[in-house]
Amino acid sequence: MPLDTTSPASAAASLTSLETPALVLDAERMQANARMMQERAISLGVALRPHVKTAKCLEVAQAACGGMPGPITVSTLKEAEQFFAAGYTDILYAVGIAPGKLAHVARLRRAGCDLKILVDNAALAQAVAQARLTEAVDLPTLLEIDSDRHRSGLKPDDPALLAVASQLRDGGVTVAGVLTHAGESYNCRSRAEIEAMAEQERAACVQAAENLRAAGHACPIVSVGSTPTARYVRNLDGVTELRAGVYIFFDLVMAGLGVCTLDEIALSVLVTVLGHQADRGWLLTDGGWMAMSRDRGTARQAVDQGYGLVCDLAGQPIAGLQMRDANQEHGILAFDTPQGARDLQAEFPVGTMLRILPNHACSTGAQHSAYQVVRGASTHIEAIWPRFNGW
């Protein structure tokens, strides 16, 4: 798919012309990741519903959906608003709905957005049913299923599942289906564990759907997904759609799980060397935790990558060099083993530009307002794609 350079922002000539820190997106890697997940969904016989919370960018969502608006997942109503305005109508809000947001949901529904929401308890179901009456518009709702005891959701065999579904139906609300997210897959330690978690995720959600159908609920949507399970699931019998989000960029946590290679990580943060502490083996940069986020997800993995893995300007990792610590606006880079007589000031003089691969693409992306889009090892900026934050 050709790169969309229609952003109203004018692109700078090169990464070297930028003020740092800046968020860099390798379109070549991003598009390859998008094709990979599209092909996975086709091979598994399900629809793909990309999660756009990671990207928060119309151009990236376009790539994830294969070049034109398609079904998407969101985590905020701001995302729903932005993507609906851009032509995306089939939207699933995959966070339990707060009662105070239901009037907003109703406004989007009346405007023509096929927005579906999520509940996992009787109190929320009651609020949805009341809003259905007050707003005089259907609010199609999915039931969240707990497939791994990681977060929220109802157990597939919990009597409350049928009770909540009946509560919605009795209030005139369409019971649109079931959804689960195998968040515990982020704690797996091998591909075999991820594959087992993917089957656990599938089985729990399908069981819940079967229980609902036996009680007279149509339950047309059976939705599963996380990036680790989406990449390695072998069978999605009984499932209708696959959700995932971070795969579009990947990150060091995914690499630590074995879900991607470093060569598939499409996102990095451009920083500039400000100085050195030679006695400590430090390089100081202008990219602190405000540029990278506080996420230290790899600290729980076999290889702790600090605040990020350091690459040269072309995006190639520099062996052993990590962002070891961070202040608000300063990054501290150091090699993971003593470097002896290595002259860091000569090798990385003040003004040197480097790129940092992030632990968690979602949280790092949230620190920035735009992507500087490059391709492969080129430092030429092809486009600037705006992204948005907030709720």
pLDDT score for 288: 97
Return d(Cα 231, Cα 36) in angstroms, integer: 9
Domain boundaries, the chain: 30-249, 262-359
Is there a contact between 324 and 334 (Cβ–Cβ < 8 Å)?
yes
Residue 10: band (very low, low, confident or very high) from pLDDT cuts 50, 70, 90: low
pLDDT score for 7: 52
- Tell me the per-residue pLDDT of 79-91, one tens digit each, with 9 for 90 and over: 999 999 999 999 9
- Tell me the per-residue pLDDT of 212-257, one tens digit each, with 9 for 90 and over: 999 999 999 999 999 999 999 999 999 999 999 999 999 999 999 9
pTM of the full structure: 0.94
Q: Give me the chain's average pLDDT, please.
A: 95
Is there a contact between 273 and 349 (Cβ–Cβ < 8 Å)?
yes
Return d(Cα 325, Cα 338) in angstroms, integer: 16
How far from each other are the two terminal CA atoms of the chain, in whole angstroms?
31
pLDDT score for 149: 84
Q: Which fold has domain 30-249?
A: TIM Barrel (3.20.20)
Question: In this structure, are strands 317-326 and 331-335 parallel, antiparallel, or unpaired?
Answer: antiparallel
pLDDT of 340 higher than 80: no
DSSP code string of 198-227: HHHHHHHHHHHHHHHHHTT----EEEE--H
Cα dihedral 29, 34, 36, 37 sign: positive
Identify whether 228 is preceded by a cis peptide bond (ω within 30 of 0).
Answer: no
- pLDDT average, residue stretch 77-106: 98
Other residues' Cβ atoms within 10 Å of the Cβ of residue 232: 21
User: Where does 262-359 sit in CATH, by number?
Assistant: 2.40.37.20
Return d(Cα 29, Cα 44) in angstroms, integer: 23
Query: For a pLDDT cut of 70, what percent of the chain falls above it?
Result: 97
Return d(Cα 175, Cα 139) in angstroms, integer: 9
- Tell me the per-residue pLDDT of 163-175, one tens digit each, with 9 for 90 and over: 999 999 999 999 9
Residue 12: band (very low, low, confident or very high) from pLDDT cuts 50, 70, 90: low
Other residues' Cβ atoms within 10 Å of the Cβ of residue 337: 8
